[in-house]
Amino acid sequence: MNDYVKISGFEKIEGVEILYLQKTEKYDFFKIVNAQKPLLATKGGVVEDGCFIITPEGDMFFSVQYHLDIEGWRTQLKRSAELLHILVGWIDKESFILSDGRSYLLRECKVTTDFKNHHEE
């Protein structure tokens, strides 16, 4: 895969950041975002970004995009994920790094924006 630009978070955009949250059976975006109380971000927002990365082991992660209070949202999402026992991932150059220490080259992963046709239940 040579077209990394289409992967959310590969190309840095000023004022916006992307994290990937592990997709679990009990996926609930709002529960994940709000697990950490009180809310740590003071302004801006967070939305699902529509990109999915599937690791070689089959773990699926979905992209979320946040803006304005970058540090607040990053901390909010990471703490919420920790409380719910789900992993967080991010892109660093041509690698996909996970919060448990694993990392993969992006070319080793499946990347899609078509969740329904790439989700295995």
Closest by Cα among 19, 20, 15, 18 to 44: 15
Give me the pLDDT at residue 1, please: 43
Question: According to the model, what pLDDT value does residue 116 have?
Answer: 57
Q: How far apart are CA 15 and CA 18, in angstroms?
A: 11
Count Cβ atoms below 10 Å from residue 35 Cβ, excluding itself: 17
DSSP state of 80: H
The CA distance from 4 to 2, in Å, is: 6
Give the pLDDT confidence of 26-64 residue by residue, as tens digits.
Answer: 778 888 889 999 989 999 999 888 889 999 999 999 999
| Neighbouring C-beta atoms of residue 107, cutoff 10 Å | 11
pTM across the whole model: 0.83
Which of the two residues, 24 and 6, has the higher pLDDT score?
Answer: 24
pLDDT band at 9 (very low <50, low <70, confident <90, very high): low
What number is the average pLDDT over the span 73-87? 93
